[in-house]
Amino acid sequence: MTTSPTVSLSSQMPGERVALRLRLDTSFQSGPLDGAWWPQSRDLQVEAADLVDHFPDLIGRIERLLFSRPDWDAVSGAPSMHRIHAARGRVKVGSFPSDDTHVMIVKMSSGQRLRLLVVPSDTEPGLASRVMQQAADDRNTESPSTLLGLSGPDQSHIGDAVWDDHAASHA
């Protein structure tokens, strides 16, 4: 079963926010991804807070996020981010220096982990829609890099392999 909470693909005015652009496969049983998220910018604090605050209540509450650094803009000289501040409260976040998976691992309060493809914010709406649909299809076997049309080694295994070590060291 695929759910698509208000996916808005309309053009937006600068500074104007649209509804959360998220597509999920709620069977969460197979494939390299559980869905896709198309953030509106490369600002991790703003976009992760939007994800946390507007994530479908029927799926659960987000407890932690593990992100791929190349998907987000870094603030020069700023300390690395360990928490984001959302209306629903603070949420722990983490990343790995060598991670270039284009995936956001979402740990729910139930303990369930979801792997969301992060579609670059500047992606053309038609392409973003197709990529999100494929990522949320439980029959999808393509890696995140392949779905995004990127070349290079598949690193989709990195996030899961090191999540527990990272979470334990930053708990």
Using an 8 Å Cβ cutoff, are 47 and 17 in contact?
Answer: no
The residue among 153 and 64 whose pLDDT is bigger is 64
What is the band of 158 on the pLDDT scale with cuts at 50, 70, 90? very low
Domain ranges of the chain: 17-169
Residue 51 backbone phi and psi in degrees, to 5 = -60, -50
Q: pLDDT above 70 covers what percent of the chain?
A: 72
Q: Give me the sign of the Cα torsion angle 67, 142, 110, 5.
A: positive
Using an 8 Å Cβ cutoff, are 43 and 37 in contact?
Answer: no
Residues in contact with 125: Cβ distance below 8 Å, sequence separation at least 6, in sequence order: 9, 10, 11
Task: Locate the DSSP E strands across the chain.
Answer: 2-3, 22-25, 35-37, 62-68, 83-86, 89-96, 103-108, 113-118
pLDDT, position 99: 72
pLDDT tens-digit profile of 2-26? 444 434 444 455 568 899 999 998 7
Q: Which residue's structure tokens are 């693909």?
A: 9
Using an 8 Å Cβ cutoff, are 119 and 148 in contact?
Answer: yes
Residue 170 backbone phi and psi in degrees, to 5 = -115, 15
pLDDT tens-digit profile of 50-80? 999 999 998 899 999 999 988 998 755 555 6
The residue among 163 and 145 whose pLDDT is bigger is 145
Closest by CA to 158, choosing from 27, 30, 67, is 67
**pTM for the whole structure:** 0.78
pLDDT tens-digit profile of 75-115? 555 556 789 999 999 999 998 766 778 999 999 999 999 99
Helix (H, G, I), strand (E, B) or coil at 63: strand
